[in-house]
Amino acid sequence: MTSTRGDLDRLLLTEREHWRDGPPHELFARLRSECPVHWTARVTEYPQEAGYWSVTRAQDVHTVSRDWRTYSSASGVTAVSDLFMELMQAMFIGMDPPKHDRLKMLFQAGFTPKRIAAHEAEIRRIVTEVLDRLEGRDACDLVADVAQPAVSRVIGSFMGIPPGDDAIWARLMNTSLAAGDPDLAPEGIQGILASEVPEIFRRCSEMIAQRRERPTDDLTSVLVHAEIEGQRLEEHEIVMGFFLLVAAGNDSTKATYCSGLRALIEHPDQRALLLADPSLIPSAVEESLRMFPAFAHFRRTATCDTELAGRPIRAGDKVVMWYVSSNRDETRYEDPDRFDVRRDPEHQAFGAGGRHFCLGAALARLELRIMFEETLARWPAMELDGAPAFVESGFVNQLKTLPVTLGPRA
Please give the residue ranges that form the binding site for ligand HEM (CB under 6 A): 65, 73, 77, 92-93, 104, 155, 244-245, 248-249, 252-253, 256, 293-295, 298, 349-351, 355-356, 358-360, 363-364
Q: Apex CA 86: angle with CA 231 and CA 165, to 5°?
A: 75
Residue 52 backbone dihedrals phi, psi, to 5 degrees: -155, 155
Minimum gap (Å) between residue 265 Cβ and ligand HEM: 19
Minimum gap (Å) between residue 397 Cβ and ligand HEM: 9
Minimum gap (Å) between residue 383 Cβ and ligand HEM: 25
In the complex with ligand HEM, which residue's Cβ is closer, 114 or 214? 114
In the complex with ligand HEM, which residue's Cβ is closer, 243 or 333? 243
Minimum gap (Å) between residue 1 Cβ and ligand HEM: 28
Minimum gap (Å) between residue 157 Cβ and ligand HEM: 11
The Cα 13–Cα 24 span in angstroms is: 9
ω into 98 cis (within 30 of 0)? yes
In the complex with ligand HEM, which residue's Cβ is closer, 294 or 406? 294
In the complex with ligand HEM, which residue's Cβ is closer, 11 or 263? 263
In the complex with ligand HEM, which residue's Cβ is closer, 24 or 156? 156
User: Using CB atoms, what's the residue nearest to ligand HEM?
Assistant: 360
Minimum gap (Å) between residue 366 Cβ and ligand HEM: 10
The Cα 40–Cα 42 span in angstroms is: 6
In the complex with ligand HEM, which residue's Cβ is closer, 220 or 252? 252
The Cα 5–Cα 11 span in angstroms is: 10
Minimum gap (Å) between residue 59 Cβ and ligand HEM: 16
In the complex with ligand HEM, which residue's Cβ is closer, 177 or 274? 177
Phi-psi region of 309 (alpha: psi -120 to 50; beta: other; left: phi over 0): left
In the complex with ligand HEM, which residue's Cβ is closer, 24 or 293? 293
Pick from 125, 391, 135: which is nearest to 258 by CA? 391
319 in Cβ contact with 56 (< 8 Å)? no
The Cα 43–Cα 47 span in angstroms is: 6
In the complex with ligand HEM, which residue's Cβ is closer, 150 or 294? 294
Residue 322 backbone dihedrals phi, psi, to 5 degrees: -90, 95
Phi-psi region of 336 (alpha: psi -120 to 50; beta: other; left: phi over 0): alpha
In the complex with ligand HEM, which residue's Cβ is closer, 36 or 260? 260
